[in-house]
Amino acid sequence: MEKNTRTIIFIGDGMGGLPIDGLDSQTTVEAADTPAMDRIAREGACGLMHPISPGRPAGSDTSHMAILGYDPQKYYRGRGPFEAKGVGIDVRPGDVAFRCNFATVEGRTVVDRRAGRIDKGTDRLAEAIRENVGKIEDVQVIFEPSVEHRAAMVLRGEGLSHEVTEIDPHDPGVDYLESRPLEDAKDRAGAQKTARVLNEFVRRVHEVLEDHPVNEERRSAGKPPANIVLPRGAGTAVDLESLKDRYGLDAAMIVEVDLVRGLGKYLDMDVIRVEGATGGLNTDEMAIAKAVDEALDDHDLVLANIKAPDLGGHDGDCEKKIKAIEKVDRALGYLLDNVDWDRTTIMVTADHATPCAVMDHSGHPVPIAFFGHGTCPDDVERYGERPCAKGIMGHLRGMQIMDVLTNMMGRAEKFGA
């Protein structure tokens, strides 16, 4: 009996880029030493991918949504709900969720947006927030700390909207903002109520945290107090069909950032945590690769994401990005050596380009390569933006990927007679 086919979606976050003068006009992927990706391209089927549509810079959240076949243009209502799910809050349809920073203010002026990258005591601060700011008007406030200065917050109640401006000014040295309804808010009354509750939340949190023992300790140790919480990235939770219901596939996700992890939880994927997966350049890529291999034992689809290439891109540091891409390649090398490719298809791509010269996400297409079961090889010899552009898969959009993969897996359903 033929065993079930499986598929791996392997994403180097922000791995796509643009030609760089100092690298003989190669991109960072092209300049990096990537024997595994090159073999995947040489023996597999290549192309370019536009995560959303040509020229549209994608966020990690919208890109992963599209790649998994959930149209972000239809379902995306801000990143807040994914962040909140990622830190373990049970987000429900209608909730408005925010990402938050613990920060330091003097009066209204933000002195440090990350409260000295506070790494201890935020659980106690969160406890105080829960005890004292659990409800505003008829709205329930749910607050959970994440790593370092990060946290997530959910407002649950009738008639709320995500269409509000942010509290976080994003720059130090300026006053934090009053939230207001967005000018083009569709649900004006909902946005007004949400902004009012949000402003009250921030005011009361500041009162609760100002003289909290954790902050007294920080002040006497010469550290900036975490005396406020700055919400941003408002989003309304929508109901998304689980990946199992949509495709009939048992799916797992092995990723390093809460944002994408939250999407996985949203889609009811098994979100697997890996020891040593730090989300930084020091991440243990081999542990990630082993976890992917193990997850294939009892899943039909495994999505993995290594975050580090994106960081090099944001920093404008090509060397750092190249090192990160080479880490992604080592993980792929492990999979090439250990996975049964007669029954497994892998897709290797980036969720968006983060060119070093741009220092942010851009709307350029990213290389894509399919290898293993069900793939039709082409003449492409190595992985990269230019080589893959000559491949048999042509230009794909994120939303087309699941069709391509389920077809390669031999699990696509015929359209028509």
Under the rule (CB under 5 A), what is the footprint of Zn ion? Answer: 13-14, 60, 310, 351
Nearest distance from residue 350's CB to Zn ion, in Å?
A: 8
Nearest distance from residue 305's CB to Zn ion, in Å?
A: 8
Nearer to Zn ion, 263 or 396 (CB): 263
Nearest distance from residue 82's CB to Zn ion, in Å?
A: 12
- The span from the CA of 179 to the CA of 196, in Å, is 7
Nearest distance from residue 16's CB to Zn ion, in Å?
A: 10
DSSP string, 182-237: -TT-SSHHHHHHHHHHHHHHHHHHHHHHHT-HHHHHHHHTTPPP--EEEEEEEEE-
Dihedral sign, CA of 15, 17, 20, 26?
Answer: positive
Residue 46 to residues 344, 351, 378, Cα–Cα distance (Å):
17, 16, 7
Nearer to Zn ion, 80 or 309 (CB): 309
Nearer to Zn ion, 163 or 351 (CB): 351
Q: Look up residue 11 and give its amino acid.
A: I
Nearest distance from residue 219's CB to Zn ion, in Å?
A: 34
Residue nearest to Zn ion (CB): 60
Nearer to Zn ion, 128 or 281 (CB): 281
Nearest distance from residue 260's CB to Zn ion, in Å?
A: 8
Nearer to Zn ion, 113 or 212 (CB): 113
CB 144 within 8 A of CB 209: no
Nearest distance from residue 353's CB to Zn ion, in Å?
A: 10
Nearest distance from residue 278's CB to Zn ion, in Å?
A: 16
Which DSSP category does 298 fall into?
Answer: S
Nearer to Zn ion, 60 or 362 (CB): 60
Per-residue H/E/C for 71-139: CHHHHCCCCHHHHHHHCCCCCCCCCEEEEEEEEEEECCEEEECCHHHCCCCHHHHHHHHHHHCCEECCE
Nearest distance from residue 14's CB to Zn ion, in Å?
A: 5
Nearer to Zn ion, 257 or 392 (CB): 257
β-pair partners for 109: 106, 175
Nearest distance from residue 37's CB to Zn ion, in Å?
A: 18
CA angle 326, 329, 335 (to 5 degrees): 155
Please tell me the total number of residues recorded for the chain in this structure: 417
DSSP string, 357-404: TTTS-B---EEEEEEETT----S--S-SHHHHHTSTTEEEEGGGHHHH
Token representation of residue 45: 């089927």
Nearer to Zn ion, 13 or 378 (CB): 13
Nearer to Zn ion, 322 or 409 (CB): 322
Nearer to Zn ion, 9 or 125 (CB): 9
* Nearest by Cα to 310 from 250, 271, 360: 360
Question: Which pairs from 216-224 meet CB under 8 Å and 24+ separation?
Answer: 217/121, 218/116, 218/118, 218/121, 223/116, 223/118, 224/104, 224/111, 224/112, 224/115, 224/116
